[in-house]
Amino acid sequence: MTQTLDVHQGVSQLDRAPTTAAPKAATAEISRAGIFAIAFGISFMLLYTVFERLNWPFFTYHPAVGKLDFWMQRPRSGEGPPMYWYGWLVLSGMTAVVVSAIATLLPRPWLYRATLFSCVLAALWPALLAAGTFVADQVSFDAELLKSIWLSGIVALVAAAAISYLASAQWVQRMWVSWLWIVPVGGLIVLGYSLKTYFVR
Amino acid sequence: MDAITDVFFDYVPVRTFWRVLLFAHFAVAAALLAATTLQSVAVLMPVRQAAGNFVSRVRAAPAASYVKPITILYVLNFLIGSWVYVKYRTYVRIPMEQLSHWWTVGTFEFKEHVMTMGIALLPAYWYFWRQPLTEQYATTRKWLVVFLAFSVWYAFLIGHVANDFRGVGA
């Protein structure tokens, strides 16, 4: 038992040494590779959610006949079910690479605020549209305007711009890495909700 | 994709080919499940020193040592899964819908989104687990490990249900 403890103590210390013995690294800036990796994660997840909801695949694959069509193609008679998932992946991947490359070139304060703006816009737009649709269905007078995707889009755009402008620099910087867990949770809530038709039949 | 499968079909019967591929998907998933679970335990319940039973030894394992195998296995299984997915769409999902197994279809649809989020996080996961580990991002590292473990567990369980409907041994 004593021998086992010694061996594992050694391994354990080796594992934890860099964390405690690197005070310089603890305050180190995120490298360009890190900026790319983080921006890629955030933008990919955000864009994937948007492209899936809008049904914008880069291509449509028809597995029954092994055919590939550019952009979105509805099912055609005799060609079996179409698959969009590959197309969403490719479009999200390509756009996320471009967004991440741009992110590495931006000054950090701009990058933090641009990320906040994109994430708030992505959350507010569908939320306002859903709220507007709900209100329009409840009230007795004609409120069809509230169901407009463009009206909710403009309001969301203004609100996102205001929030990202007014937020403090420290908070925006602190939040930046946190989008890595906020975006997938939010994205999965939206995507999960969109699948509700399967669970209420 | 069809061109690749056609080459295999010259040597292996179609049915056997897809079964082998599905089994490979399962085998890699099982390895990935073990790695992500062990890393989660090491990250969520760390101990300085291993002593006593199996669980406390697992808790003391160096969490960073799992990063490379998890990254490789995750990408590999994502690719195999993407390939098998073609067969699922035509051979499994259609009868599922015909027999009104809507919960199975819905949860499997959600699986593709969960795994997509997981693969998108891999570059950041790799970056934050590079040595030397900075204390500043310990929470981020923990969150990434937990999310990847969740995605693998969810995909494994839902994939198993779909396999039971129409797959190897079903």
pLDDT digits (tens, 9 = 90+) for A46-89: 999 999 999 999 999 999 999 999 999 999 898 999 999 999 99
A73, A105, A137: which is the final residue of a domain?
Answer: A105
pLDDT of amino acid B103: 96
Identify the three-state secondary structure at position A168.
coil
Return the percentage of chain B with pLDDT > 70, whole number. 96
Domain range for A67? 30-105
- What are the beta bridge partners of residue A68? A61
Q: Is A23 within a domain?
A: no
Note whether A112 and A101 are same-domain residues: no
Mean per-residue pLDDT for B21-29? Answer: 96
Note whether A140 and A201 are same-domain residues: yes
Q: Please check whether residue A80 touches B, CB under 8 A.
A: yes
pLDDT digits (tens, 9 = 90+) for B110-134: 999 999 999 999 999 999 999 888 8
Note whether A81 and A115 are same-domain residues: no
Note whether A111 and A101 are same-domain residues: no
Q: Please check whether residue A10 touches B, CB under 8 A.
A: no
CB-based contacts of A22-25 (< 8 A; 24+ apart in sequence): A22/B132, A22/B133, A22/B134, A25/B132, A25/B134
Note whether A117 and A45 are same-domain residues: no
Note whether A191 and A118 are same-domain residues: yes
Return the percentage of chain A with pLDDT > 70, whole number. 86
The dihedral sign for the CA sequence B46, B48, B53, B57: positive
Q: Is A163 within a domain?
A: yes
Identify the three-state secondary structure at position A83.
strand
Per the CB < 8 A criterion, the answer to whether A49 and A122 are in contact is yes
Q: Is A201 within a domain?
A: yes
Q: Is A78 within a domain?
A: yes
Nearest-CA residue of chain B relative to A14?
B62
Mean per-residue pLDDT for B149-162? Answer: 97
Note whether A78 and A112 are same-domain residues: no
Nearest to A8 among B50, B64, B127 (CB): B50
Per the CB < 8 A criterion, the answer to whether B1 and B83 are in contact is yes
CB-based contacts of B155-159 (< 8 A; 24+ apart in sequence): B155/B29, B155/B81, B155/B111, B155/B114, B155/B115, B156/B29, B156/B30, B156/B33, B158/B107, B158/B108, B158/B110, B158/B111, B159/B25, B159/B26, B159/B29, B159/B81, B159/B108, B159/B111
A105, A122, A157: which is the final residue of a domain?
Answer: A105
Nearest-CA residue of chain B relative to A83?
B89
Note whether A113 and A199 are same-domain residues: yes
Q: Please check whether residue A68 touches B, CB under 8 A.
A: no
Task: Please tell me the distance in Å from A153's CA to the nearest CA on chain B.
Answer: 25
Phi, psi of A18 (to 5 degrees): -60, -30
A87, A105, A123: which is the final residue of a domain?
Answer: A105
The total domain count for chain A is 2
Phi, psi of A62 (to 5 degrees): -105, 95
Q: Is A111 within a domain?
A: yes
DSSP string, A46-82: HHHHHHHHHT--SEEEETTTTEEEES-----TTS---
- How far is the C-alpha of B62 from the C-alpha of A114, rounded, in Å? 37
Q: What angle do CA A138, A136, A147 make, to 5 degrees?
A: 155
Q: Is A4 within a domain?
A: no
Note whether A134 and A192 are same-domain residues: yes
Mutant choice from A3, A180, A197 vs B, greatest count of B C-beta within 10 A: A180
Note whether A115 and A195 are same-domain residues: yes
Note whether A95 and A119 are same-domain residues: no
Q: Please check whether residue A63 touches B, CB under 8 A.
A: yes
pLDDT digits (tens, 9 = 90+) for B7-23: 777 888 888 999 999 99
Q: Is A155 within a domain?
A: yes
**Are the beta carbons of B135 and A28 separated by less than 8 Å?**
no
Note whether A122 and A95 are same-domain residues: no
Q: Is A52 within a domain?
A: yes
Query: What's the gap between Cα A2 and its chain centre?
Result: 50
Residue B167: band (very low, low, confident or very high) from pLDDT cuts 50, 70, 90: confident
Query: What's the gap between Cα A127 and its chain centre?
Result: 15
